[in-house]
Amino acid sequence: MTADTSVLLDFRDVSMRFGDTEALTGVDLTVSRGEFVSVVGPSGCGKSTLLRIASGLEQVSGGTASTASQRIGYVFQDATLLAWRSVRRNVELLAELHHVPRAERAARAAAAIDLVGLTGFEKHLPRQLSGGMRMRTSLARSLTLDPELFLFDEPFGALDEITRERLNDELLKLFVQQNFAGLFITHSVAEAVYLSTRVLVMSGRPGTIVAGFDVPFDMPRDPDIRFTPEFAALVGQISHALREGHR
């Protein structure tokens, strides 16, 4: 059997304008199942706009942006949990909004909570959780819809280094298990390289993709890959492209 590598996200010559602000121009981008694509770029270059277009929250000003699936997961930098709901009821929220019957919802939530390693914390409220646990809850909530396309807007940016590395490993494990198409925004080139099958570099505003790098390391990824000269060399090349595009 050959692996399913269907294109789930397809941007062609996408541009985006907000009044006088040209946010994006000439963006061509495809993400297929089994690909994890990260986008790095200077602040304000339109990365979040790119993700909002992919999720359908924003309409393009020019070009076309199409998604081949309605099953889209979206994780923001903020975990966006409801303070008065337990972990379990927060995780069930999206399925609830999609009118998934109660028993099915509970089963999906339990499976997602298990996948992100929060079993035992189902009854906790968000304020009783660490930042990393809140982000896991947010991930689990998206997982209940079994997304084919998973969008991440700098989800680990506010976490400490150790928690961030641990969540990177957990996300990689999920990616290998669930075989979704991932689009990940980050300010960290090392995080982009570690997580991705491909890294794209955006220029300053109006943002456009100025370089792309295939990441040659095997999945599942060995955490020690981060300490190899090959890893450091690729991070160096991408950082260089980022500086060039920034001028």
Ligand X SMILES: Nc1ncnc2c1ncn2[C@@H]1O[C@H](COP(=O)(O)OP(=O)(O)OP(=O)(O)O)[C@@H](O)[C@H]1O
Least distance to ligand X, CB of residue 28, Å: 17
Q: Which is nearer to ligand X, 166 or 205 (CB)?
A: 205
* Contact between 88 and ligand X per CB under 6 A: no
- 241: tokens are 């492209």
Q: Which is nearer to ligand X, 8 or 185 (CB)?
A: 185
What is the DSSP annotation of 185-234? E-S-HHHHHHH-SEEEEEPSSSB-EEEEEE----SSPPGGGGGSHHHHHH
Residues in the chain: 247
Site pattern 8..47 for ligand X (x: CB under 6 A): ----------x--x-x-----------------x-xxxxx
Least distance to ligand X, CB of residue 77, Å: 8
Q: Which is nearer to ligand X, 18 or 84 (CB)?
A: 18
CB 81 within 8 Å of CB 137: yes
Least distance to ligand X, CB of residue 31, Å: 17
Least distance to ligand X, CB of residue 2, Å: 36
Least distance to ligand X, CB of residue 51, Å: 8
Among positions 104-163, residues that touch ligand X (CB under 6 A) are none
CB 157 within 8 Å of CB 187: yes
Q: Cα–Cα distance between 111 and 52 in angstroms, integer?
A: 28
Closest CA to 177 of 117, 107, 98, 105: 117
* Contact between 48 and ligand X per CB under 6 A: yes
Strand ranges of the sheet holding 149-153, from the earlier edge strand across to the other edge = 72-75, 149-153, 181-185, 36-40, 198-202, 209-214
Residues at the site binding ligand X, with contacts judged by CB under 6 A: 18, 21, 23, 41, 43-49, 205
